[in-house]
Chains A and B, each alone.
Chain A
Amino acid sequence: MARPHRPLPTLSRRRMLALGGVGALGASLAACGDNTGREGSSDQDAAGSSGGRPSIAQWYHQYGEEGTQEAVRRYAADYEAADVTVFWKPGDYDQTTAASLLTDAGPDVFEYGNGPTIDMIRGDQVADLTDLFGDTLDDFTPSLIERMTYDGKIWAVPQVLDMQVLVYRRSMLEGAGIDAPQQIPELVAAARELTRGDVKGLFLGNDGGAGLMGGPMLWAAGLDYLDGEQVGFDSAGAPEALSVLRTLWTDESLLLGQAKDWFDPDALISGRTAMQWTGLWTFPAISDALGDDFGAIPWPSMEGGSPSVPVGAYGSCVSTRAADVQAAKDFVRWLWIDQTDKQLDFATSYGFHVPSRVSLVPEADVLASGPAADAAGYVTEFGHAQTPLLWTPQCATAWSDMMSRVVRDGADPQEELDALVPVVEAELERVTG
């Protein structure tokens, strides 16, 4: 390498600053993108093609079912009072949406799992939608409305209802001379009985039910995560209920390590398990494969509890940062309350969901007979929202850590639950204080 003719000037820190790159930085900071999907969102005289109608950006997560995207675009195009642009967001929807609500680049109308989070409501990020319902309120599934209510106001409109149930192979149970279990002890005995060779009795997910079955076990014992604004699992029945899952684990009645987890019917269809906890959405695939060789039952109960099914729904919410909050609310009312034919189409034409309006359930042909009709029937009788609104992500994380330790490591449920109480109480104090 040739030597330079003169030493290169070294830069002292002082000179570096004196060279004044600072001004250039300011310019680049200001050049942030602004892609909200709204045309002329900042100025009210949005002439152009929209003819003075408000523009609404509506966000959906990417549904896996064929035709859903076309359907929601069609609904949006049918709306006359505003220009609705549908955004179909792949990837980590919950996190991108939560983050974009902090900016002006967020949606006007968006769906969110089980309605907005308590922090969105308290942070004034979503609009109160109570007045949209009018006299239709009693027609919505009560557990969903309750889940999306805070402080006496309703913060989202439930779109379609999804549920989880216990599905079993009729032929396998009949072959072993077992009836569908109604009580938890029967379930434990059946799972043990049906475990033979490579076939396991029960599949509750690859984590042995640690992630999913906490709620159903509490409900089976007549308890819940929360009781109003109090801890709901702080009683003698809770450790006993959770230890049932540990029993199933140590009995080796549980199927584990599946390539496709509980939300896919593969394990049940291929006969690796006799019973599986899964979602209603798997029923078309199961009946294609097994005909009528399957049945659906709610999660059984223990002494003092009742059978249960977890229900959840994406709720349609309105961002308080919307360009025109009233126009966004009008659109939500039109689509998710007035247009019942669209709601029925959205629930049953593409995937397999239950309409969130009770009066629409009988109109859904796919839910008219067989196990699907049984399952839909459990919703009003045994339905529980998956987790209560005040059950913050921090509570959920602490809870699922606890469940994993109890189920997989054999930790003492009483001690674990006792350690959880102060965590949950601190969060409750934060969100209700």
Chain B
Amino acid sequence: MLARLRGRHDVNLWFWVFVGPFFAGLVLFIYVPIGWSVYLSFFEAYNTVTPTEFVGLANYRDMLADPAFRDSLLTFVVFAAFIVPTTFALSLLTALLVARTRVMQAFFRSVFFLPVACSYVVAALIWKMSIFSGMRSGAANALLGLVGLDPVPWLSITDPPWYWLVIVSARLWLQVGFYMILFLAALQRVPTNLYEAAAIDGAEGWQVFRHITWPQLLPASTAVLLLLLINAFQAFDEFYNILAGFGGYPPYARPPLVYLYYTALGSGQNFGDGSAGAVILTVLIAVVALAQTRLLRLGGRD
């Protein structure tokens, strides 16, 4: 019996030696909390994770009826609608330019990739405190001062909503390099004989990109899009560190995770509503990701 369990050449034993720790970690730190969260979402759970009062779908009703939560979903949509295509275009462009560079290619590659090594929190603080500080001494205001304009309190005012500029520029700076590397890797995998054949047929610049490079980049593009979308969903660090103040978080530019953080983890400790919101969010991410892969036929092609 034992010998059968261990399999030929102890293959099963070794399988568990290698996979076991990761599998255990996955269950313990991912699946158990998710399951618990789903469980909590059906209870009234203030300041407790072992609730007793079953409320059915009331938490879901509360969250969906909560204008602030709906507003946070809208914030995400606006944010994603801008950041996903922009990052995609910028990183593809950077990758194409770096790939074409003949001199100092390694240097440029590193320079664009370096921000990825910077922590979101640190970058957020630099953006908030020094680049977009509302004082005359802030970098952005110093530039405005050179052309004789008054300083702008970037993060204090809502009309015009300059805070988006701060958040979006921070995120672009942080993540463009990472996706550039993904595109670069994909570009290097395009067979050169395709380009040679195209050159013989007289294809030039844009045509080559349109008919050779772009189709060959499709798998990478799909992956990048999906990663970008999930990353946008998980927006927290730079929003929180740029906008959260002493008195909490303002009612604008509040992505879902920030809102849930205040609901469930603030001094409120409202785990029932927080979990319901988290489940709604998880379902949304899953649906969007599935729809996207279907649309781009990620599974259907090689």
Contact = CB atoms under 8 A, between A and B. Distances in A.
A393 B155 contact: no
A257 B132 CA distance: 9
B152 to A, nearest CB: 8
B49 interface: yes
A256 B15 contact: no
Given A211-B247, A259-B135, A397-B248, A206 B155 contact: yes
A25 to B, nearest CB: 5
Contacts of A24: 16, 20, 24
Contacts of A404: 158, 250-252
Interface stretch (B80-88, B111-119, B196-204, B262-270): B262-270
A95 B23 contact: no
B47 interface: yes
Given A99-B269, A393-B267, A401-B251, A119 B133 contact: no
A25 B245 CA distance: 42
B287 interface: no
Contact of A206 (B48, B156, B263): B156
A102 B24 contact: no
A98 interface: yes
A25 B11 CA distance: 20
Of A11, A98, A397, most B-chain CB atoms within 10 Å: A397
Given A259-B129, A404-B251, A25 B27 contact: yes
A121 to B, nearest CB: 10
Contacts of B7: 9
A258 B247 contact: no
B217 to A, nearest CB: 25
B24 A206 contact: no
Interface in B259-302: 262-263, 265-270
A25 B24 contact: yes
Nearest to B156: A256
Interface string B8-24: 10011001100010011
B154 A257 contact: yes
A198 interface: yes
A119 B270 CA distance: 10
Interface in B23-60: 23-24, 27-28, 46-49
A413 B98 CA distance: 54
A272 B137 CA distance: 13
A401 B154 CA distance: 19
A394 B268 contact: yes
A120 B48 CA distance: 10
A99 B45 CA distance: 13
**Residue of B47, B155, B266 with highest tally of chain A CB at under 10 A:** B47
B248 A400 contact: yes
A210 B243 CA distance: 14
A257 B133 contact: yes
A398 B247 CA distance: 12
A21 B20 contact: yes
A123 B248 contact: no
Contacts of A99: 265, 269
B47 A25 contact: no
Interface string A89-101: 0000011001101
A104 interface: no
B149 interface: no
B246 interface: yes
Interface in A155-204: 198
Interface in A101-134: 101-102, 117, 119-120, 122-123, 125
Contact of B250 (A119, A207, A257): A207
Interface string A225-267: 0000000000000000000000000000000111101110000
Contact of A394 (B20, B134, B270): B270
Contacts of B16: 19, 21, 24
A117 B266 CA distance: 11
A409 B268 CA distance: 27
Given A21-B23, A256-B153, A397-B262, A211 B246 contact: yes
A9 B11 contact: yes
A383 interface: no
The 4 closest A-B pairs by CB, nearest first: A257-B134, A211-B247, A257-B153, A393-B268
11 contacts: A11-B15, A20-B5, A24-B24, A101-B47, A119-B268, A120-B47, A206-B134, A210-B247, A256-B156, A257-B152, A258-B135
Given A101-B47, A123-B46, A394-B268, 15 more contacts: A9-B11, A11-B15, A19-B12, A25-B24, A98-B267, A99-B269, A205-B246, A257-B151, A257-B153, A258-B135, A259-B133, A393-B268, A393-B270, A397-B248, A397-B266
